[in-house]
Chains A and B, each alone.
Chain A
Amino acid sequence: MKLLNHTSKYLAIILVPLITIWAFIFYYAMLDEIYDSLDDGLENQKVLLLQRLPTNPEILEHKDLELWSHSITPVSKTYHDKFTERYSDTLMFMLNEKDYEPVRVYETKIAYNDSYYKVKFITSMVEEDDLIQDLITYLIVLYILLMISIVILNNLMLKKIWKPFHSLVSQLPNFRIEKNHQITTKDTSIDEFKLLNASITTMVEQSRARYLEQQHFIENASHELQTPLAISINKLELFLENTTLSEDELKTMASILDNLGRLTRLNKSLLLLSKIENRQFTDEEDIDFNLLISSITQDFEDLASHKHIRLTIDAKEQLNFQMNKDLAIILLTNLIKNAIVHGQQHNTVHIVIARNLIKVQNYGAAEPLNAHYVFSRFKKLSSDKKSTGLGLAIAKAITEKYSIEWNYEFTTQHNFTLSFPDGR
Chain B
Amino acid sequence: MKLLIIEDEPEMLENMTQTLERQRYIVETASDYKTALYKIGVYDYDCILLDISLPDGNGLELLKELKSSGKDEGVIIVSAKDSLDDRLEGLNLGADDYLPKPFHMAELHARVKAVLRRRHFEGNQQIKLGNLVISPESRDVKIDDLSVALNRKEYDILMYLITNKKRLVTKSALAEHVWGDHIDQADSFDFIYSQIKNLRKKLEHATLTIEAVYGVGYKLELV
Give A contacts to B, CB under 8 Å: 223-224, 226-227, 229-231, 233-235, 237-238, 240-241, 247, 250-251, 253-255, 257-258, 261, 264-265, 268-269, 271, 275, 280-281, 283, 296, 299-300, 302-303, 305-307, 326, 329-330, 333-334, 337, 340-341, 384, 386-388, 391
**Nearest chain-A residue to B106 (Cβ)?**
A237
- Interface contact B80-A250, CB-CB below 8 Å: no
**Nearest chain-B residue to A272 (Cβ)?**
B82
Q: Does B125 contact A (CB under 8 A)?
A: no
CA distance A201 to B168 in the complex (A): 59
Q: B67-111: which have CB < 8 Å to A?
A: 80-85, 100-106
5 A-B pairs with least C-beta separation: A230-B102, A306-B191, A254-B215, A226-B80, A234-B15
9 more contacts with CB within 8 A, not counting A230-B101, A386-B188, are A237-B19, A237-B105, A238-B18, A251-B215, A257-B172, A302-B191, A306-B194, A341-B186, A341-B187
Say whether, besides A230-B103, A241-B168, A265 and B184 are in contact (CB < 8 Å).
yes
Q: B17-34: which have CB < 8 Å to A?
A: 18-19, 22
Q: Does B209 contact A (CB under 8 A)?
A: no
- Interface contact B216-A281, CB-CB below 8 Å: no
- Interface contact B19-A238, CB-CB below 8 Å: yes
Chain A hits for B19, CB < 8 A: 234, 237-238
CA distance A255 to B215 in the complex (A): 8
Say whether, besides A257-B170, A302-B194, A326-B84, A230 and B183 are in contact (CB < 8 Å).
no
- Interface contact B185-A264, CB-CB below 8 Å: no
Say whether, besides A229-B102, A240-B216, A329 and B187 are in contact (CB < 8 Å).
no
- Interface contact A261-B172, CB-CB below 8 Å: yes
- Interface contact B185-A391, CB-CB below 8 Å: yes
In the assembled complex, how far is the CB of residue B85 from the closest CB belonging to chain A, in whole angstroms?
Answer: 8
- Interface contact A268-B82, CB-CB below 8 Å: yes
Chain A hits for B170, CB < 8 A: 237, 257
- Interface contact B104-A237, CB-CB below 8 Å: yes
CA distance A96 to B145 in the complex (A): 139
User: Of A240, A258, A337, A388, which contacts B168 at CB under 8 A?
Assistant: A240
**Nearest chain-B residue to A269 (Cβ)?**
B185
- Interface contact A231-B15, CB-CB below 8 Å: yes
Q: Does B195 contact A (CB under 8 A)?
A: yes
Q: Mark B166-200, 1 if CB is under 8 A from A, else 0.
A: 01101010000001101111111011101100000
- Interface contact A280-B103, CB-CB below 8 Å: no
Q: Does B213 contact A (CB under 8 A)?
A: yes
User: Of A230, A250, A254, which contacts B12 at CB under 8 A?
Assistant: A230
- Interface contact A234-B105, CB-CB below 8 Å: yes
Chain A hits for B83, CB < 8 A: 275, 280
Chain A hits for B195, CB < 8 A: 302
Chain B hits for A299, CB < 8 A: 179-180, 182-183
- Interface contact B182-A330, CB-CB below 8 Å: yes
In the assembled complex, how far is the CB of residue A220 from the closest CB belonging to chain B, in whole angstroms?
Answer: 10
- Interface contact A247-B214, CB-CB below 8 Å: yes
Q: Does B153 contact A (CB under 8 A)?
A: yes
- Interface contact B168-A237, CB-CB below 8 Å: yes
Q: Does B56 contact A (CB under 8 A)?
A: no
**Nearest chain-A residue to B19 (Cβ)?**
A238
Q: Does B204 contact A (CB under 8 A)?
A: no
A–B pairs, 25, beta carbons within 8 Å: A226-B80, A227-B80, A230-B101, A231-B11, A231-B15, A234-B15, A237-B105, A237-B170, A238-B105, A240-B168, A250-B216, A254-B216, A255-B215, A257-B170, A257-B216, A261-B172, A302-B153, A303-B179, A337-B182, A337-B183, A337-B185, A340-B186, A341-B186, A386-B188, A388-B185
Chain A hits for B103, CB < 8 A: 230
CA distance A60 to B50 in the complex (A): 140
Q: Does B221 contact A (CB under 8 A)?
A: no
- Interface contact B168-A223, CB-CB below 8 Å: no
- Interface contact B11-A271, CB-CB below 8 Å: no
Chain A hits for B194, CB < 8 A: 302, 305-306
In the assembled complex, how far is the CB of residue B89 from the closest CB belonging to chain A, in whole angstroms?
Answer: 13
- Interface contact A227-B9, CB-CB below 8 Å: yes
CA distance A224 to B172 in the complex (A): 22
CA distance A247 to B180 in the complex (A): 29
CA distance A241 to B18 in the complex (A): 11
Chain B hits for A334, CB < 8 A: 182
CA distance A253 to B190 in the complex (A): 17
- Interface contact A303-B172, CB-CB below 8 Å: no
Chain B hits for A230, CB < 8 A: 12, 80, 101-103
CA distance A233 to B101 in the complex (A): 11
Say whether, besides A250-B213, A299-B179, A227 and B105 are in contact (CB < 8 Å).
no
Chain A hits for B172, CB < 8 A: 257-258, 261
In the assembled complex, how far is the CB of residue A9 from the closest CB belonging to chain B, in whole angstroms?
Answer: 58
- Interface contact B12-A281, CB-CB below 8 Å: no
CA distance A281 to B85 in the complex (A): 9
**Nearest chain-A residue to B7 (Cβ)?**
A227
CA distance A329 to B180 in the complex (A): 12
- Interface contact A265-B186, CB-CB below 8 Å: no
Most B C-beta atoms less than 10 A away, residue of A240, A247, A306? A306
CA distance A341 to B184 in the complex (A): 12
- Interface contact B80-A223, CB-CB below 8 Å: yes
